[in-house]
Amino acid sequence: MDASRELFRLIGGYQVSQAISVAARLRISDVLATGPMSLDELAAASGTDTRALARLMRALTALGLYTADGGTFANTELGAALRADAPRSAAGWARFIGTGSYWQTYAALEQSIRTGDTAFSILHGEPVWEYRARHPDEQDAFDAAMTSMADAVSSAVVAAYDFSRYGTVVDVGGGHGRLLLGILERYPTVKGVLFDQTDVVAGASADRFQVVGGDFFDSVPGGDALVLKSVIHDWADAESIAILRNCRQALRPGGRVLLVEQLLDLSPDPVRTAFSDLNMLIMTGGRERTTDEYRTLLAAAGLELVDTVATASPTFVIEAAAR
């Protein structure tokens, strides 16, 4: 291996991220879903400058997202995964990571490493949750990104973990309910409750489950299984324990708290998990954790780690019972 060449390739990763993000925002893959197009047709359909688009398409073709044949462009399998309607589409996440607040925060990574503080709050003067509440466009982009990432994880969780033993499953911080819907489709005898902030669950379809708005720092609806997918990693230990204590109080006898999270010590994709941990550092002040760190966190909330169940995604189902 040419170490210098490989290092330069890694250093240029930010250019790749932004180019793919722009393609997602321009919906290039969606436009090409109907079939190959000439550059002029693609520029007209995407509302872009023809010559500038040619340069973007050259770069993305070199990355393998598109093919160029006789002046016409088409999706590859990789490019098709950037379509908004693709199974397990990456489009929402790709659009989000190019947004100003997210992109700028990574430029302040050094400040977080030097101080241990959250770069987003340093840069923008307020926590990320408050910032997004005041910027609905960024909140919408974040929600779309979470939905984009949810499908693959949700299907993996439903396939790996047996929810049939629970009468009522509460999806705590469940957004629009993609995971909960997957559980209920797989286990039709289970009842479901979707719990998140009132403005978030307002966009959920409630045909299959009950919708409850609220704040998990105040209280959580009662259930036999309380599922928190990618919630606890957003928060530092004190806030995480507060959330988990409320879950402990809401847990019915014999029930379980189920955390769907990555584990630093068991991750099948250590690069992804390590960078997710950096993302938590600079964005929310949270962190990815090891199995033992989750065991300690749960114990502080009156819960005992019972099992960790691997899934076909980088996440695990961390099962906890009341102590």
Other Cβ atoms within 10 Å of 236 Cβ, number: 13
CA distances from 144 to 14, 141, 155 (A): 21, 5, 18
The Cβ-side half-sphere exposure at 301, using a 13 Å CA radius, reads 29
Q: Which residues contact 76 (CB under 8 A, 6 or more apart)?
A: 64, 65, 66, 67
233 assigned to active site: yes
Nearest to 121 by CA among 113, 5, 130, 152: 130
Contact 150, 313 (CB under 8 A): no
d(CA 175, CA 158) in angstroms, rounded, equals 17
Unique residue bearing structure tokens 């076909």: 312
Q: What secondary structure letter does DSSP report for 34? A: G
Half-sphere exposure of 176 (CA within 13 A, CB side): 15
Say how far apart CA 298 and CA 246 lie, in whole Å: 12
Residues classed as catalytic: 233
